[in-house]
Amino acid sequence: MPIKVLYRGKEYEFPEKKLKAKELLKKLGLSPISSLVVKNGEVISEDEYVEEGDEVRVINAISGGVKRA
């Protein structure tokens, strides 16, 4: 069973049974600085693993500033 990942409304599948979050982001062409991996509803660090059967989503971190008048 592949690892299934939801990113921007599309589902991606990876044949590995286990991947570090940072490896997953690399496969998607994303940086751990600007993206977060959510496993089973919780944000995980880039050194934690995702495995087949986990519910995995990748979201982009959005930064903003203070608007000045």
Instruction: Note down the domain range covering 17.
Output: 3-60
The CATH number of whichever domain residue 34 belongs to comes to 3.10.20.30
Q: Is residue 9 part of a domain?
A: yes
Q: Count up the domains in the chain and report the number.
A: 1
**Whole-prediction pTM value?**
0.85
Q: Is residue 67 part of a domain?
A: no
Q: What is the mean pLDDT of the chain?
A: 92
Q: Is residue 69 part of a domain?
A: no
Q: Is residue 53 part of a domain?
A: yes
Q: Is residue 13 part of a domain?
A: yes
Q: Is residue 66 part of a domain?
A: no
Give the CA dihedral 32, 36, 37, 40, nearest 10 degrees.
Answer: 160
pLDDT at residue 61 in the model: 85
